[in-house]
């Protein structure tokens, strides 16, 4: 059929010339998507199709068609995936995208931003951690915003057709945490994300302040953390990081981040710092602090760099067998910060009073003015230290 015909000339991808002359293109008898007659093979009363309709294989649960990549416009190819198509050279194209000039319906997306109804077959729509709203779209589509609500960049949802474009300016989530985060509606976050963030300065009670890198699921930069252990640069907008900002090193991170270790240096368990984005994970085995306060078979303490110990606690500790610039901290206190030593009855000379069973490697358990402390009621390698010094009346720190 002649390329002068609009139905031939206006194809998104040119029809093949096949065995036709240079001015013609080979038009199929049937639409390869719907199987409806195109009329190409019945323009003459003496003509009719000789073969049954041939349609592209279905994919995406019947919502798409397996179209040869050579027949898909370049602008669409990077939006698609193979899905269940058998041929390596095919892409699964939503039926709503097949055809020229199709404009997706307008809808209201996240945070009431302007959007378009796009097929859930598209990876950018289907692979979101939190589904896009259906809004006024059909059951097989979701409302994708015209602009990224974090960066303001175009998502391409409102420019998939040459006849379409956004009608409203970009709408962004409000900023928080000094501009390092965005106020995101809680219903747009995964339960794992919700547990890591807080409201911060967000005005809406339903919003939470999320670091921009976490919203975009970007892998955090690698850095060297406590003890030169592998870590990731995490924003101080995260409450867990903010609460430890003075202990975590900045390392190679920016000023709004701190280097959180992949593994807890006391227990060796994952902190989650190195798995905040798909495809990321620790590259090195867990690093653990050396132990101390040991009797040769078990250890009651952990060697912690002095810089990681608050000054108010450092005065009650000693190095024990730890290397220089380290202090021996009772491991139980590191695992359970609110842990208190078991109570006992302390006897010194002729007086008795309340006390606590303290590991004997702590300064408080090494005697009061030369007086030997009792271990009655305590475990091995523990001393019963009185809560109050019977001579001076001042607290020993054992019970606090």
pLDDT tens-place string over residues 155-195: 989 988 778 999 999 999 999 998 888 999 998 888 878 88
Range of 62-66, 119-123, 261-265, 394-398 with top mean pLDDT:
261-265
- 267 compared with 348, residue with greater pLDDT: 267
Lowest mean pLDDT among 293-302, 370-379, 391-400: 370-379
H or E segment and range at residue 242:
helix 239-242
Give the CA distances from residue 41 to residues 31, 45, 48, 350, in Å, rounded to whole numbers and listed in that order: 12, 10, 5, 115
- d(CA 113, CA 106) in angstroms, rounded, equals 11
| Residue at token pair 């208190």 | 340
For the chain, first and last CA: distance in Å? 92
**Beta strands in 151-286, from DSSP E residues, in sequence order:** 175-176, 181-185, 207-211, 222-224, 230-235, 257-261
- 99 compared with 84, residue with greater pLDDT: 84
What is the average per-residue pLDDT within 307-311?
Answer: 86
| pLDDT computed for residue 367 by the predictor | 66
Q: Give buried/exposed letters for 245-270 (b at 16+ CB in 10 A, else e).
A: eeebbebebeebbbbbbbbbbeeeee
Joined tokens for residue 128: 């979101």
User: Please, which residues bridge with residue 68 across strands?
Assistant: 90
| pLDDT computed for residue 171 by the predictor | 94
**Beta strands in 178-256, from DSSP E residues, in sequence order:** 181-185, 207-211, 222-224, 230-235
- d(CA 274, CA 321) in angstroms, rounded, equals 32
> For residue 245, is pLDDT > 60?
yes
Across the chain, which distance is largest between two alpha carbons, in Å? 124
Query: Where do the domains of the chain lie?
Result: 291-335, 343-386
| Res. 99 pLDDT band, cuts 50 70 90 | low
Render pLDDT for 135-145 as a digit per residue (tens, 0 to 9).
999 988 999 99
């Amino acid at each position: 059929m002649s390329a002068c015909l609009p139905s031939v000339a206006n194809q998104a991808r040119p029809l093949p010339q096949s065995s036709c002359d240079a001015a013609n293109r080979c038009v199929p008898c049937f639409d390869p998507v719907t199987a409806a007659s195109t009329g190409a093979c019945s323009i003459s009363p003496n003509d009719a199709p000789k073969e049954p309709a041939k349609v592209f294989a279905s994919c995406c649960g019947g919502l798409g068609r397996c179209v040869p990549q050579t027949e898909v416009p370049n602008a669409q190819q990077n939006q698609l995936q193979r899905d269940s198509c058998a041929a390596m050279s095919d892409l699964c194209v939503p039926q709503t995208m097949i055809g020229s000039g199709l404009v997706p319906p307008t809808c209201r997306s996240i945070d009431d931003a302007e959007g378009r109804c796009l097929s859930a077959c598209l990876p950018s729509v289907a692979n979101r951690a939190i589904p896009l709203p259906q809004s006024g779209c059909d059951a097989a589509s979701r409302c994708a915003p015209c602009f990224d609500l974090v960066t303001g960049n175009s998502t391409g949802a409102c420019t998939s057709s040459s006849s379409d474009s956004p009608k409203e300016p970009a709408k962004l989530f409000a900023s928080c945490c000094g501009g390092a985060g965005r106020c995101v509606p809680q219903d747009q976050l995964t339960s794992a994300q919700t547990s890591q963030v807080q409201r911060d300065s967000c005005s809406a009670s339903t919003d939470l302040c999320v670091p921009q890198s976490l919203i975009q699921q970007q892998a955090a930069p690698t850095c060297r953390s406590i003890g030169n252990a592998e870590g990731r640069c995490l924003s101080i907008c995260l409450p867990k990081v903010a609460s430890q900002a003075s202990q975590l090193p900045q390392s190679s991170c920016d000023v709004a981040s701190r280097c959180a270790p992949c593994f807890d240096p006391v227990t060796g368990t994952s902190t989650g710092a190195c798995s905040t984005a798909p495809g990321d994970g620790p590259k090195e085995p867990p690093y653990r602090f050396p132990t101390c306060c040991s009797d040769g078979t078990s250890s009651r303490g952990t060697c912690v760099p002095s810089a990681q110990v608050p000054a108010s606690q450092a005065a009650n500790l000693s190095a024990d067998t730890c290397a220089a610039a380290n202090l021996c901290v009772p491991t139980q206190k590191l695992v359970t910060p609110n842990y208190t030593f078991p109570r006992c009855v302390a006897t010194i000379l002729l007086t008795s009073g309340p006390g606590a069973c303290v590991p004997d490697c702590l300064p408080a358990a090494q005697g009061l003015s030369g007086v030997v402390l009792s271990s009655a009621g305590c475990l091995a390698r523990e001393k019963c230290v009185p809560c109050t010094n019977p001579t001076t009346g001042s607290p020993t720190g054992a019970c606090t």
